[in-house]
Structure 1
Amino acid sequence: MATEKQVIKTYRDLEVYQNSYKASLTVLTQILPKLPKEEQYDLANQLRRSVEAIPRLIAEGYGKKHQRRGFDKYLTDAMSEANETVVGISYCRDVYSKQVDPKLCEELIDIYDKTGRQLYKLAEAWRNFQKKQD
């Protein structure tokens, strides 16, 4: 069964944006509040910044898609943030397994791993599209 390609009119139409935004809400509401107070200025703060950065970078990059390297740079930065997020959630799972749900952490790690792969493929497709435009 073939899937129909969706027309992308805005960054909100990108599956990778939708998934990263939804996952960020889960981290912000179900992981970070359960971390101990001593982590609020280190692990929690860094994890908050990385999960919020991914959808923001996708949105900002999409807005610069007509610039030569605009979109690609932001997608690359979002990939880096996705990798950083995996490490942060792994710390939560491994160090604070009594405070946070390890199963939820595993699900989030899988989502952010997939996000990184989706961002890579999107950046690659965008570079190929740009080459065809030259």
Structure 2
Amino acid sequence: MSRSTFTTWMAWKKGFKLATSISRLARAKFPKEERYSLTDQVRRSSRSVCSNLAEAYAKRRYPKHFTAKLTDSMGENYETQNWLFFALDEGYIDEATFESYMAASEEVGRLLSYMDNNPQQFLKPR
């Protein structure tokens, strides 16, 4: 089975790994009363990083659209970090867990920035 190229992008791979890990963490550590707020938000934003990369792949023929989807992906990555700050403050995760997830998110952010600064490597030739 042939796969779309976006699944080979390092930003997507690391973003996917982070999103699945966050999903498991939220299910295991966050209280039930957070199910429709913090848990839902952090899971959605972390998953949206990869979803926006998939959309960027579809729009890679149009540089401005491609860049816009990368920008959306970066925004979702920052939103994920924001929710991790709330989880730490509420005591749902400890400092070590927080630092580990933040480091992973920062790595995804660096990869997204690279893509944003070097779009020609990812765009579809006309």
- Long gaps (5+) in structure 1: 1-8
In 1, the alpha carbon distance for the partners of 2:69 and 2:122 equals: 16
Pair 1:100-2:93 in alignment = yes
In 1, the alpha carbon distance for the partners of 2:44 and 2:85 equals: 16
Identity %: 26
Per-residue deviation, 1:69 = 1.5
Match of 1:113 among 95, 106, 113: 106
Deviations 1:57-97 (A, max 9, x none): 1111111100241211110000000111011112112212x
Question: 1:57, 1:74 within 8 Å by CA — same for their partners in 2?
Answer: yes
Q: CA distance change for structure 1 residues 129 and 91 in 2, over 3 Å: closer, same or farther? A: closer
Matched residue count: 122
Question: Partner residue of 2:86?
Answer: 91
In 1, the alpha carbon distance for the partners of 2:52 and 2:16 equals: 11
Pair 1:41-2:36 in alignment = yes
Per-residue deviation, 1:129 = 8.0
Pair 1:52-2:47 in alignment = yes
Per-residue deviation, 1:101 = 4.3
Question: 2:115, 2:122 within 8 Å by CA — same for their partners in 1?
Answer: no
SS of equivalent residue, structure 1 residue 69: helix
Match of 1:70 among 62, 65, 69: 65
Match of 1:10 among 1, 5, 8: 5
Q: CA distance change for structure 1 residues 34 and 129 in 2, over 3 Å: closer, same or farther? A: closer
Q: CA RMSD in A?
A: 2.2
Q: Which has the larger radius of gyration?
A: 1
In 2, the alpha carbon distance for the partners of 1:49 and 1:129 equals: 25
Match of 1:27 among 3, 22, 25: 22
Deviations 1:41-72 (A, max 9, x none): 11111111101100111111111100241211
- TM-score for both structures, normalised by structure 2: 0.85
Question: 1:58, 1:78 within 8 Å by CA — same for their partners in 2?
Answer: yes
